[in-house]
Amino acid sequence: MKTNRFLSAAIFGFALAFTFSCSSGGGDDPDNGGNGQGGSFNENSQVYNFDGRNIGTAYKGNGDIKIELIGNGDGKTLNAGSVTNGIVKLELPTTIPEEYLSNSYFCDANSPEDAKYTESRLNIYNNEKLIGGLIAAYLGNDYAYSIIFLHSTKAAKITCESERYKYDIDAKAGWNKVYLYLKKTEKNGEELQMSTNDFLKKAGELKWILFR
């Protein structure tokens, strides 16, 4: 199993997870009796600043949300909504340029040959100036749980498992929420799980985080 550029982009956007190991405000641990209250993530909700270790104060600024695409050409951004007084209005684009679609995604052998996917991450801009990256995440004491948005050109079932990675993605055509669970482990360094199911039942506790 190879790690392709989509996974690299996802990990880049999720890199803040490696900063939380000493955080005092992370919350419960799903492996140690976390309550996992569940619920749905509200996409059009408040953005919070991230101080490099903890989720901090509410962001009160304005800006444009853009998806940064990584493909066969130079990087490209597409409009994906806005932020007004710190509140997100997410409007993901309906069309992705062909040159920014990839026919490989994590477990290539288990993905339909004719399906194609985006490689993207969300950023906030103000007057065309990059403010920072935007992710929806929950930070535990030794793990992070997040959502990435995956665009597929057709329905696709992607499953595979190794010592460090487990993917169970049941994508529909169009945009999909994919939940990422990233945890530090002494044995493997980190453990990554990805699924279109909210397997930790934490969606209702995720918050938009602005990291710079």
Rounded to 10 degrees, the C-alpha dihedral 47/118/145/138 comes to: 0
- Single pTM value for the model: 0.83
pLDDT computed for residue 52 by the predictor: 72
pLDDT tens digits, 67-108 = 987 655 566 889 999 999 999 999 999 998 888 887 766 665
| pLDDT for the residue numbered 9 | 45
Listed by start position, the domains of the chain span 5-18+38-211
In whole angstroms, what is the distance from residue 176 CA to residue 151 CA?
A: 6
**pLDDT value for 26:** 45
* Amino acid 34: pLDDT: 38
d(CA 38, CA 98): 36
pLDDT of residue 119: 67
> Which residue type, as a one-letter code, is found at position 128?
E
Cα dihedral 166, 121, 51, 87, rounded to 10, equals -120
Question: How far apart are the C-alpha atoms of 47 and 54, rounded to whole Å?
Answer: 13
Residues in the chain: 212
Main-chain dihedrals φ then ψ at residue 49, nearest 5 degrees: -70, 155
Residues in the chain, pLDDT under 50: 1-13, 16-27, 29-37
How confident is the model at residue 104, as a pLDDT?
67
